[in-house]
Amino acid sequence: MNKLIIGRYLPGTSLLHILDARAKLIAGFYFIFILFFAEDWPAYILLWSFTFWVMHLSGVHFKTYIRGVRPLIWLILFTVCLQVLFTAGGEIYFEWGPVTISQFGIVSGIYIFFRFVMIIFISTVITLTTKPIDLTEAIHFLLKPLRIFKIPVEEISIMLSIALRFIPNLLDETQKIMDAQKARGTEFGKGSLFQQMKTLVPIFLPLFVSSLNRAEEVANVMEVRGYQPNARRSSFRKLRWKWADTLSLVIMIFLTVGLLIMNTIV
């Protein structure tokens, strides 16, 4: 659990660290959006090259990203297996009832694996290079137009800020509970599937209680300090849009053009 780095922030002086949080959020969501328009291998090669370039610009060692994606690899592989086993098309290699292994299913599974990993990498880059408070300000700024639809933008932004802030704390708390259970003789990852599921109960119950207590403490602190969710307020931290932020969005436009060209090659 201590290897999961999504939601953590690493201080640094790289080019991505100094970019405006709004530019990183817009570019990140846009990259995830265009991922689903990749249709062939040349397009995925282009997207992987861009992903590796962005990871290099973050100034964080590549091994850190690998360690961060490792805890999620089983969830990704499970999704890929569902795609491979229940998607038919092209040449059929194996068929048994609803289970079908086909050429189209295998290729689709590989593409889905690439998409998931790239989404995790790009999301991790954003959180590693952006302070949680800056992410909150960026989300609040980008959601402002939704006020005309009576959507509580301030409440949504503060909820996201608190969630991002406490992801590392939740992971650390989980690790502490697991260490305490190991000291009491609990062995994780051994025995049958049912036995392994039973060993998770002593983790989830204390973690759930701890999360509720922490949420109550945060709510009490906010209430004592006079926080009003619907009140209009100014921001102590001002986000500043620079030429580098504009350049990052221009690069995304060039990436889109390159992706369209790659899709037409094959």
pTM of the model: 0.76
> Which residues partner with 94 through β-bridges?
101
Domain count, the chain: 2
What per-residue string of b and e applies to 169-193 under the rule 16 or more CB within 10 Å gives b? Answer: ebbebbeebbeebeeeeeeeeeeee
Domain match, 125 and 243 both: yes
Locate 1 and state its tokens: 């659990």
Domain match, 31 and 105 both: yes
Domain match, 223 and 176 both: yes
Within a domain: 99? yes
**pLDDT value of residue 46:** 92
Within a domain: 146? no
Q: Do residues 245 and 23 make contact, with C-beta atoms less than 8 angstroms apart?
A: yes
Domain match, 202 and 124 both: no
**pLDDT value of residue 1:** 46
Please list the ranges in the chain whose pLDDT falls under 70.
Answer: 1-7, 90, 188-193, 195-196, 229-237, 266
Domain match, 121 and 253 both: yes
Which residue in 180, 57, 51 sits closest to 118, CA to CA? 51
Within a domain: 140? no
Compute CA 188 distance to the chain's CA centroid, rounded to the nearest angstrom. 26
Q: Which domain holds residue 200?
A: 153-229
User: pLDDT tens, 112-169?
Assistant: 899 999 998 998 899 889 887 788 888 888 888 888 888 887 778 778 777 777 777 7
Rounded CA Rg of the chain: 22
Within a domain: 138? no
Domain match, 222 and 248 both: no
